[in-house]
Amino acid sequence: MNKINALFANNKDRKLLSLYFCAGCPTLEGTGDVIKAMERKGIDMIEVGIPFSDPLADGPVIQSAGTVALKNGMTVKKLFAQLKEIKNEVQLPLVLMGYLNPIMHYGIEAFFKSCVESGVSGTIIPDLPFDDYLKVVNPIADKYDIRVIMMITPETSEERIRFIDEHTDGFIYMVSSASITGAQSSFGDAKLAYFNHINGMNLRNPRMIGFGISNKQTLTSAQDNAAGAIIGSKFVTLLNETGDPDKALDGLFECLEK
């Protein structure tokens, strides 16, 4: 069974926590150390960002991390090599999050083949058109048993959400707002109403809520309304400040208690 499916199947009574970081930031060779630190600290799933020069969905924190990573020399090929080195040491699901351009440049089938070889269980491609997913990407991903995770936002129609739910597997990435990534202090009534609406749809796939989670209030709101939460910008900030994944994780856990 794919590790993503196994994670949700085996943890139906527990709220999950997934973290994002950008490969190659703050250091080129630190990818494996960050991942292993996350597993030691009990993180359930990891999104590894592929840096890109034009990340449309990302806020300033993750954009800056991508810029640093590219300057450090991170590439898709380099990332796969790093992940392959630690494949036998890591048990939790790894999800690559990156834009379509670098993936197409690498080669779509080569990309999914490398995912298998390096222990990756899924991908998130924010700018992948759904029609292209259905016709081109999904058949290749299925061949290699890799999950392609789709995002929904408060602006996604109910018809499209149900279509995504029917034609994807693993989980649905439920973006808390239609804006770019970035930490927020709280979720307002409109976002909570959105969460409640999606809960009422009784979707087949589990959902993870991301964008804006940085403290106890936002974490609790996300975990109360989905299978778990995804944190990106807050952890990336702490990792850049400390340069040490263990210290960054300890700092994050402190923030999530406030």
Told to judge if 257 belongs to the known catalytic residues of this protein, a careful annotator would answer no
List, in order, residues 6 or more apart from 224 with CB less than 8 Å away: none
The sheet with strand 172-175 has its strands ordered as 147-149, 122-124, 94-97, 45-49, 16-22, 228-231, 207-210, 172-175, 151-152
Amino acid at 203: L
Told to judge if 47 belongs to the known catalytic residues of this protein, a careful annotator would answer yes
Contact 4, 171 (CB under 8 A): yes
β-partners of residue 148 are: 123
Q: And the tokens for 72?
A: 């450090």
Contact 181, 233 (CB under 8 A): yes
Contact 174, 207 (CB under 8 A): yes
For residue 215, which phi and psi values (nearest 5 degrees)? Answer: -150, -175
Task: Return the H-helix or E-strand segment holding 22.
Answer: strand 16-22
For residue 148, which phi and psi values (nearest 5 degrees)? Answer: -105, 115
Active-site residue (options: 39, 44, 47, 250) = 47
What is the spatial distance between Cα 210 and Cα 19, in angstroms, rounded to a whole number? 10
List, in order, residues 6 or more apart from 215 with CB less than 8 Å away: 185, 255, 256, 258
Give the catalytic positions in this structure. Answer: 47, 58
